[in-house]
Amino acid sequence: MKRTLLALLTVLLISACEQTKSPPTKTESTAVANPFKVWTWLTAKSDWTDSTYQSKFQRLAESGIDAVLINTGTNPAELARLTPIASEEGLEVHAWIMAMNRPGDTVALQHPDWYAVSREGKSCFDTRPYVGYYQWMCPTRPESRGHVLNLVRGLAEVPGVASVHLDYIRYSDIFLPIGLLPKYDLVQNEELPEFDFCYCDKCIEKFESIHHKNPREMEHPELDLEWKQFRLNQVKAVVDDAYKIVHDNGKILTAAVFPYPEMAARMVRQRWDKWNIDMVLPMIYHNFYNEELDWIGFATGQGVSDLSARETELHTGLFIPSIPADQLKEAFEQAKTNGAKGVALFDAGALMEEHLAVIKEFTTQKND
C-alpha cells in the first residue's frame, strides 16, 4: 500500500512538473536547434520545374543551410507551390518581396501618382534614378502604401511560410555605395536633387500639416532635420503596419537592410533599429564600400549594439561573389563573434561547391 502511494505520488509529482513547465518559445527552440543560422536568398525562375527546385533545395539543405528566402515576384500562388518542396527538404521558407521599389508592377502602373517624386519634380513612374529597375512607390500616399501592404498580406497568408521578408524597404539611394560610383560614372559629395525623394503632393502636404514649412521652398532641404526625420518615420510606419499584418497571420517579419542604422539612415533613409521587426538581415557587403573583411565584424557589432534595447535579431548578410571560399569561414566568424545570430548569403546561385563545403564544415561544428 505504502509503495503504491509512493508510486502514485511520484507520478503526480512528475505530471505536475510537466504541467508547470512552460512550452518553449520560438526563439528558445530555434536557439537549441540552430545556434547559428544560415540563410540564402533565391530568385524563382519560371522555367524551373518542381524537380529542378527539389534538387536545388536538397543541395542547399545538405550543405547545412537552414533557411531560404524566395523571391517569386510577389506571387503567392507560386510561393504556395514552392514552399512544400523546400519544407520537404528541411528548409525554412521566407517570402521575399521587393517592397517600395516595384519595377513593372502592373497594378501600380495604372496609377502614376503612386510613384515617388524627386526634388527636381520628376516621378519614378517615368524617370528612373540610376537603373532601369528603380521604380519607387511613395511610402506616404495611402493608396501606394496600402498596395504594398496588401501584397505583404497575400504572402503572409501562404501556409508554411515562416516570415515575410521586406527588401527595398526604404527610399531610393540618396548616396550610392562608394564602391559602385565609378560604375555609374557618378560623383556624390552632397545630396543631389535628382536622387532625393519624395516631394510628391501628399508628402509635402502631410509634412506641412505637422511642421508648417515646405521642403520644396527650402534652399537646403538636406539640412532640415524634421524633413529627414519625417521620411525615416514614413518608412517605419510601413514596416510597423506590415509587422501587424504578418503577426495576425501567425508569421514573423524580417527585412534586408543597409549595413548599420546610421549608415542606412544617411544613404537610404532607413533607420531600422527603430522598427517593429523580428529579424534584420543587413547587407554587409564589404566590397560595395571598398572595405576589408574585418568591416563585416565592425558593421555587425554596430548593428547588434544599436538593437540592444530591442528583441530584434540580427543575421549578417554576405555578398558571396566577392568572398572566395577560402575567406568564407573568416566572414562567418566576423559575424558570429560580433553578435550575429546567423548569416544570410546572397545569393543561392553564387554558391559554388567550394562555398558549400565551407558551410557544411562550419555548420557541422556549430552543432557539436
Instruction: Return the number of the residue (100 or 245) whose C-beta is nearest Zn ion.
Output: 100
* ∠ CA 127-95-25, rounded to 5°: 135
Q: Report the amino acid identity of residue 128.
A: R
Q: Which residues touch 21 (CB under 8 Å, ≥6 apart)?
A: none
CB of 92: closest distance to Zn ion in angstroms? Answer: 35
Instruction: Return the number of the residue (114 or 272) whose C-beta is nearest Zn ion.
Output: 114
Count helices and strands in the chain by DSSP H and E runs: 11, 8
CB of 105: closest distance to Zn ion in angstroms? Answer: 16
Cβ(95)–Cβ(158) below 8 Å: yes
DSSP H/E element including 282: strand 279-282
CB of 354: closest distance to Zn ion in angstroms? Answer: 46
Would you tell me which residues interact with Zn ion (CB under 5 A)? 138, 140, 198, 200, 203
CB of 137: closest distance to Zn ion in angstroms? Answer: 9
How many Å apart are CA 327 and CA 344, to the nearest integer? 15
3-state helix, strand, coil in the chain (%, to 5): 50, 15, 35
Instruction: Return the number of the residue (147 or 315) whose C-beta is nearest Zn ion.
Output: 147
Q: Alpha helix locations (H) across 63-168? A: 76-88, 142-156
Q: Which residues touch 89 (CB under 8 Å, ≥6 apart)?
A: 54, 57, 58, 60, 61
Instruction: Return the number of the residue (57 or 136) whose C-beta is nearest Zn ion.
Output: 136
CB of 162: closest distance to Zn ion in angstroms? Answer: 32
Instruction: Return the number of the residue (116 or 166) whose C-beta is nearest Zn ion.
Output: 116
